[in-house]
């Protein structure tokens, strides 16, 4: 029987997923700065402390490294912690626990232990939070074997992928773009999961493949509608998972369209687009290309505070339109 579907915001979908997991499993608990009575920096945890108590919705001191260490230790004992960073930028303070402990312990101990840990990272630009609070660092984490890295682009996937992450025996890093929290979309009631490691064709097309992540999926879809009126049929691949990456879906899409553009907010150099481009160059899809691959990523600069400069530092719909036109028209 199909589950009823409602319109929820991205933040509400995440909140609902955490509540479902906590109701089902006493091992699931939340940690983070100001996630209790305050409800989280972006009000995602909301009333969960009132529903489940301070023993399961735990405000942590202002020490990301210490909190992450507690979360890793709790996961090693069989608990299922969900650790929220106020901003993804603050993960830089906890890299020792994330990269050297959580990611490696299963391997170093020969599979004798698992680290069922979820870390949530509000990320990205657009809120005027300036250089130290607006970065997109997901490619850093995707570089590390042992971590799974996901970027839901809509409320449906935010709920389903979070529930899948909580079920997963390995550490999962969830990057949630801050501008997506208020966006709304259809979300089924109750439990469902969206598989980690599987991309989605958000829009089918024949002339160009755009592989996009997070907020760039919506921008790419908006651009695709404009381009359709011009006779350019764009296929949009919502990557959803950075690691493990669904390379098969990308390869098959590029074989159909013969053109590829990667759109992501992180800095262009050594970013997600570089990995996708190299993967295609090494695959059978390379022989199908009719044009060179385009990477459309963030500027080679810290994120500005000024709103106009901030927008100029990351891809916008207009940038996607102009690059797509040039690519399909053979001007690149």
Active site positions, annotated: 64, 133
CB 295 within 8 A of CB 268: yes
Q: What is d(CA 196, CA 199) in angstroms, rounded to the nearest whole number? A: 9
> Starting from the edge strand earliest in sequence, which strands make up the sheet with 28-32, in order?
57-59, 28-32, 80-84, 118-123, 172-177, 148-150, 241-243
Helix (H) / strand (E) element for 264: namely: strand 260-267
Q: Which residues contact 279 (CB under 8 A, 6 or more apart)?
A: 245, 247, 250, 251
Q: Are strands 172-177 and 80-84 parallel, antiparallel or unpaired?
A: unpaired
- The CA angle 178-74-55, to the nearest 5 degrees, is 75
Q: What is d(CA 238, CA 258) in angstroms, rounded to the nearest whole number? A: 18
Q: What is d(CA 214, CA 180) in angstroms, rounded to the nearest whole number? A: 8
- The CA angle 322-325-326, to the nearest 5 degrees, is 85
- DSSP 8-state class, residue 98: I
CB atoms within 10 A of CB 301: 11
Q: What is d(CA 326, CA 332) in angstroms, rounded to the nearest whole number? A: 6
CB 149 within 8 A of CB 242: yes
């Amino acid at each position: 029987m199909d589950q009823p579907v409602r319109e929820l915001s991205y933040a509400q979908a995440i909140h609902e997923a955490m509540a479902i997991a906590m109701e089902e499993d006493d091992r699931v608990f939340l940690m983070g700065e100001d996630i209790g009575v305050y409800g989280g920096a972006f009000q995602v945890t909301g009333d969960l402390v009132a529903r489940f108590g301070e023993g399961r919705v735990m405000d942590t001191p202002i020490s990301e490294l210490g909190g992450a260490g507690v979360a890793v230790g709790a996961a090693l004992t069989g608990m299922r912690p969900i650790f929220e960073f106020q901003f993804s930028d603050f993960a830089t303070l906890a890299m020792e626990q994330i990269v050297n402990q959580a990611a490696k312990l299963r391997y170093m101990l020969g599979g004798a232990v698992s680290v069922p840990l979820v870390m949530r990272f509000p990320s990205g630009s657009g809120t005027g939070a300036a250089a130290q609070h607006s970065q997109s660092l997901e490619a850093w984490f995707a570089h590390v074997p042992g971590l799974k890295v996901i970027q839901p682009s809509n409320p449906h996937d935010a709920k389903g992928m979070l529930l899948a992450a909580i079920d997963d025996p390995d550490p999962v890093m969830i990057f949630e773009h801050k501008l997506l929290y208020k966006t709304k979309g259809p979300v089924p009631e109750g439990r469902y999961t969206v598989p980690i490691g599987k991309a989605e064709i958000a829009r089918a097309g024949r002339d160009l493949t755009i592989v996009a992540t997070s907020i760039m999926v919506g921008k790419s879809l908006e651009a695709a509608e404009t381009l359709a009126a011009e006779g350019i049929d764009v296929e949009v691949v919502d990557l959803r998972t950075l690691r493990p990456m669904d390379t098969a879906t990308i390869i098959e899409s590029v074989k159909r369209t013969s053109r590829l553009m990667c759109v992501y907010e992180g800095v262009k150099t050594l970013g997600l687009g570089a990995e996708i481009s190299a993967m295609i160059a090494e695959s059978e899809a390379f022989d199908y290309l009719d044009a060179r691959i385009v990477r459309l990523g963030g500027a080679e600069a810290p994120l500005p505070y000024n709103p106009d400069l901030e927008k100029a530092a990351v891809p916008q719909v207009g940038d996607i339109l102009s690059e797509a036109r040039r690519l399909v028209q053979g001007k690149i």
